[in-house]
Amino acid sequence: MNLDQLNQVAVAMVAPGKGILAADESTGTIKKRFDSINVESTEENRRDYREFMFRTETAMRDHISGVILFEETLKQKAADGTPLAKIIEDMGSIPGIKVDKGAKDMHAFPGEKVTEGLDGLRERLAEYYELGARFAKWRAVIDISRGGDRTMPTYGNLKANMHALGRYAALCQEANIVPIVEPEVLMDGDHDIDRCYEVTATGLKMLFQELFDQRVALEGTILKPNMVIAGKKCDRQAGTEEIAEKTVKCFRETVPAAVPGIVFLSGGQSEAEASQNLNTMNAAYKEQMPWGLSFSYGRALQASALKAWSGKVENVPAAQAAFSHRARMNGLAQLGTWSEAAEKAA
């Protein structure tokens, strides 16, 4: 393991004004996204969709520090034969790879899931490094029970997921690949913001204990969490100031200063909400945060672009403009200089 190299990559991933594009939708998820625009999920359509984003100069050069890819995309070539990973590199951005094999039902904990993919991971990581990947991602999915019931998440479920994240992160660093550790507390459900705080804080404490136990170097690790936010079906939705205050407080309590960066998932927030909430944190709390705070959005970077594209080559310029706008808004949010006026000036 070369810790200097890992640290350099991790620091570059949270460079000022930049963040990560999560384009790692697995085959099932990208099909759902394509269904929403009535486009068939063929290998060629998936390639064309990803290719137009990676070729969007203004977004990629100025605001996208790295791209998380699905394995198919890391191995895929553009229409002109250039590997898609090379296009990303040529834009000054870093290719990364989702290495988990998805969240699977846990028999012992009905309703809860554990993420699988550790078997054979060492060999896969060596191959991904050769293909150009310099960081990886593994996502654990934590669900909160509905209706005020407090049984989920269970301790056993949290423990299994955080342990897997620790094992994955150690294997990544052995292969000189920066691990993004993603313990996502879902915003589905009716829990309030304080329950989200409690579950997020507990999960992060357990995660950093597992990273310590597995001797993971925090200087070469990036955290990808949810914001502390109410469930979508909760009657009381918190405003951006409360979300920012509680999220920053939660991380200050749980995330060691040695971690170079925290990059949020958007988790079902609208594009503008995801930008605004990130902006509020960076505008109000930058001095209190020892880590860079940025984005690693999937839906909140791509939703407008996907719609504008709708599978038609003639729509590519409009789709690239939509992607550029979102990348710029989130770049501004990383700096704490996003505004509603900038948001509207598309």
Q: Which is nearer to ligand 5MM, 217 or 263 (CB)?
A: 263
How many Cα neighbours within 13 Å face the side chain of 39? 22
Residue 28, Cβ density class (10 Å: 0-12 exposed, 13-18 middle, ≥19 buried): exposed
Q: Which is nearer to ligand 5MM, 181 or 238 (CB)?
A: 181
Residue 328 dihedral angles phi and psi, to the nearest 5°: -70, -40
User: Which tokens in the block code for residue 346?
Assistant: 């598309």
Candidate residues 300, 308, 316, 319; the one interacting with ligand 5MM per rule CB under 6 A: 300
Candidate residues 297, 309, 323, 338; the one interacting with ligand 5MM per rule CB under 6 A: 297
**Quick check: is 224 catalytic?**
yes
- Does position 298 interact with ligand 5MM (CB under 6 A)? The reply is yes
For the chain, the maximum distance between any two Cα atoms, rounded to a whole number of angstroms, is 54
What is each CA distance from 124 to 71, 143, 170, 313, in whole angstroms? 10, 29, 14, 34
User: Which tokens in the block code for residue 22?
Assistant: 């999560």
Residue 140 dihedral angles phi and psi, to the nearest 5°: -100, 140
Residue number, nearest CB to ligand 5MM: 298
- Numbers of helices and strands, H then E, in the chain: 14, 10
Q: Which is nearer to ligand 5MM, 139 or 195 (CB)?
A: 139
Candidate residues 24, 51, 112, 210; the one interacting with ligand 5MM per rule CB under 6 A: 24
- Does position 168 interact with ligand 5MM (CB under 6 A)? The reply is no
Q: Which is nearer to ligand 5MM, 12 or 97 (CB)?
A: 97
How many residues in the shown chain lie near ligand 5MM by CB under 6 A? 16
| Contact window for ligand 5MM (CB under 6 A) among 24-32, 35-43, 86-94, 148-156 | 24-32
Kind plus residue range of the DSSP H or E element containing 185: strand 178-185
User: Which tokens in the block code for residue 100?
Assistant: 């988990």
Q: Which is nearer to ligand 5MM, 39 or 217 (CB)?
A: 39
Residues noted as catalytic? 182, 224
- Positions that interact with ligand 5MM (CB under 6 A): 22, 24-26, 29, 68, 102, 139, 184, 265-267, 297-300
